[in-house]
Chain A
Amino acid sequence: MHEFAIATSLVEALLELVEKQFASKVLEVHLSVGKLRVVSIDQLKFSYGILSKGTALEGSTLDVEETPGFARCNNCNYTQKLETDDPTFHFGLPQMTCPQCETNLILEGGDELLITRVRMLAPSTSSTVLSNGPV
Chain B
Amino acid sequence: MVAVGIGLAKPVEVVTPAEGEVFDVELEVNILRENERLAEENKGRLGSKGIHAVDVMGSVGSGKTSLIKSMISRLKQDLRIAVIEGDVTTTIDSDIISSEGVPTVQVNTGKECHLDANLIRKALDKLPLGSLDLIFIENVGNLICPAEFPLGSDRRLVVVSVTEGPYMVVKHPMMFRDAKVVAINKIDVASAMGVDPNKLSADVARLNPKAATVHTSCRNGIGVNEVIEKLGLNR
Contacts and interface: CB of A to CB of B under 8 A. Distances in A.
A13 B8 contact: yes
B22 A93 contact: no
Interface in B164-211: 170-171, 173-174, 176-177, 205-210
A9 B14 contact: no
B173 A91 contact: yes
A100 interface: no
A18 to B, nearest CB: 10
Contacts of A108: none
B144 A120 contact: no
A5 B112 contact: yes
21 contacts: A2-B148, A5-B114, A5-B149, A9-B32, A12-B3, A17-B25, A91-B170, A91-B171, A92-B174, A93-B176, A93-B177, A96-B177, A96-B208, A113-B30, A116-B26, A117-B26, A119-B23, A120-B24, A121-B22, A122-B20, A125-B19
A113 B114 contact: no
Interface of B: 1-3, 5-6, 8, 14, 17-35, 112-114, 116, 142, 144-145, 147-149, 170-171, 173-174, 176-177, 205-210
Interface string A4-26: 01101110110011001101000
Contacts of A6: 31-32, 148
Interface residues of A, number: 45
Interface of A: 1-2, 5-6, 8-10, 12-13, 16-17, 20-21, 23, 27, 31, 36-39, 89-93, 95-97, 104, 107, 113-125, 128-129
Given A16-B6, A117-B26, A2 B145 contact: yes
A114 B24 contact: no
A104 B206 CA distance: 10
Nearest to A122: B17
A90 B27 contact: no
B24 A117 contact: yes
Contacts of A96: 177, 206-209
A135 B31 CA distance: 50
B149 A2 contact: yes
B210 to A, nearest CB: 6
Nearest to B26: A117
B71 to A, nearest CB: 27
A123 B205 CA distance: 56
Contact of B31 (A115, A118, A121, A129): A115
Given A117-B25, A117-B27, 5 more contacts: A38-B144, A91-B173, A104-B210, A107-B177, A125-B19
A90 B170 contact: yes
B31 A93 contact: no
A64 B2 CA distance: 23
Nearest to A113: B31
Contacts of B173: 89, 91-93
B34 A122 contact: no
Contacts of A125: 19
